[in-house]
Amino acid sequence: MTFPGVRPRRLRALPALRSMVAETSVAPGQLILPVFVGEGLSEPKPITSMPGVVQHTMDSLKATAVEAASAGLAGVMIFGLPEHKDAQGSQALAPDGILTTALREVRAEVGDACLVMSDVCLDEFTDHGHCGVLTADGHVDNDATLEIYAEMAVLHAEAGAHVVGPSGMMDGQVGAIRSALDRAGHPQTVILAYSAKYASAFYGPFREAVNSSLSGDRRTYQQDSRNLREALREIELDIAEGADIIMVKPALAYLDVIAAARAACDLPIAAYNISGEYAMVEAAAANGWIDRERAIEETVTGIRRAGADVVLTYWALELARSVGR
């Protein structure tokens, strides 16, 4: 048998060769660690559907943020879990509320060594579990919610957040927040916009993680999983309103959306490797069905290869340690 002397396998023969020509890398500075902090906890509370992930106390949250900074992670995205909820999500605007306090204390602990990021949304704070306040007939009131988001973002910036992440998928949320931040004297606060956030079955474990009170679903504001062009339209609108970074969420079932977003815009793109994606790998590994470490590496590398500059993942610290070995 004769064939040309081109042999692609030559560059796969040794680990050093494979590393030298690798097209995609995962570095600590490209990773963000999502973290949960629960009001009133005396010790970290394990999340059963997400092995290895906990609801933090304030002390364990600060210790984790310091660890994230030491590992070289880009940042920590903080979700606050209040003890008391109401229809208006009033604890979201409390200056001494769990999320605002966490932002203030973590920023004091890590300074600028690690980006302090906040989730700007109401779902953790409302007793109905929706991402906004409701009208009298039970629908999410988009414009009334925008006013609360704007106030939340300013509160978070004043507490020390470097980055605010509006995740509620309300029309006009980025513009409302950008205007409010600029008026309040926070023009340097970065907006990480959840621009293409889909109504997904993969959020299940997250609902446990945030003590969700959701009644019904979020299909009237989160995107339909069947649509790609709609996502690009949402991204275009968020860019026009002043987003600094755009987000695709979830990641694994939407790698095509990440790739299309990368082709369509020049802004940095983040992707959220969400709770259900994490839980699937952990459950399969616990049953001995897959090689856990390789599956984690493939998962996050795949998200990066699709076009994400930044990945939010619950494996961020573990990956940062493995890169350092």
Q: Is the predicted pLDDT of residue 128 greater than 50, yes or no?
A: yes
Task: List, in order of start, the domains of the chain with CATH numbers.
Answer: 27-324 (3.20.20.70)
For residue 293, the model assigns a pLDDT of 96
Please tell me the distance from the alpha carbon of residue 201 to that of residue 276, in angstroms, as a whole number. Answer: 8
Confidence (pTM): 0.95
Q: What percent of the chain has pLDDT over 70?
A: 99
Please tell me the distance from the alpha carbon of residue 247 to that of residue 6, in angstroms, as a whole number. Answer: 40
Residue 4: CB atoms within 10 Å: 5
Q: Are 312 and 32 in contact (CB under 8 A)?
A: yes
Calculate mean pLDDT across residues 20-41: 96
Calculate mean pLDDT across residues 200-215: 84
User: Residue 145: which of 159, 157, 155, 131 has the closest Cα?
Assistant: 131
Q: Are 259 and 196 in contact (CB under 8 A)?
A: no
Q: Is the predicted pLDDT of residue 284 greater than 60, yes or no?
A: yes
* SS3 (DSSP) at 83: coil
Q: What is the mean pLDDT of the chain?
A: 95
Calculate mean pLDDT across residues 111-119: 97
Q: Is the predicted pLDDT of residue 215 greater than 80, yes or no?
A: no
For residue 211, the model assigns a pLDDT of 78
For residue 5, the model assigns a pLDDT of 78
For residue 299, the model assigns a pLDDT of 97
Catalytic residues: 197, 249
Q: Are 161 and 107 in contact (CB under 8 A)?
A: yes
Q: Which residues contact 241 (CB under 8 A, 6 or more apart)?
A: 172, 174, 175, 178
Q: 110-124 burial, b if ≥16 CB within 10 A, otherwise e? A: beeebbbbbbbbbbb
Please tell me the distance from the alpha carbon of residue 321 to that of residue 163, in angstroms, as a whole number. Answer: 24
Residue 33: CB atoms within 10 Å: 26
Task: Name the strand (E) or helix (H) holding 273.
Answer: strand 269-273
Q: Are 62 and 104 in contact (CB under 8 A)?
A: no
Calculate mean pLDDT across residues 295-301: 97
Task: Name the strand (E) or helix (H) holding 80.
Answer: strand 75-81
Most confident listed range (19-28, 153-162, 204-213): 153-162
For residue 1, the model assigns a pLDDT of 66
Q: Are 106 and 156 in contact (CB under 8 A)?
A: no
Q: Is the predicted pLDDT of residue 324 greater than 70, yes or no?
A: no
For residue 325, the model assigns a pLDDT of 46
What is the pLDDT confidence band of residue 180, given thresholds at 50, 70 and 90? very high
Instruction: Annotate 45-76 with three-state secondary structure.
Output: EECCCCCCCEEECHHHHHHHHHHHHHHCCCEE
* 28 secondary structure, DSSP code: G
For residue 205, the model assigns a pLDDT of 86
Please tell me the distance from the alpha carbon of residue 289 to that of residue 293, in angstroms, as a whole number. Answer: 12
What is the pLDDT confidence band of residue 272, given thresholds at 50, 70 and 90? very high
Q: 176-214 burial, b if ≥16 CB within 10 A, otherwise e? A: bbbebbeebebeebbbbbbbbbbebebbebbebbbbbee
Calculate mean pLDDT across residues 42-67: 97
Please tell me the distance from the alpha carbon of residue 148 to that of residue 120, in angstroms, as a whole number. Answer: 9
Residue 50, Ramachandran bin (φ over 0: left; ψ between -120 and 50: alpha; else beta): beta
CA distances from 107 to 3, 24, 97 (A): 61, 32, 15
Calculate mean pLDDT across residues 63-90: 97
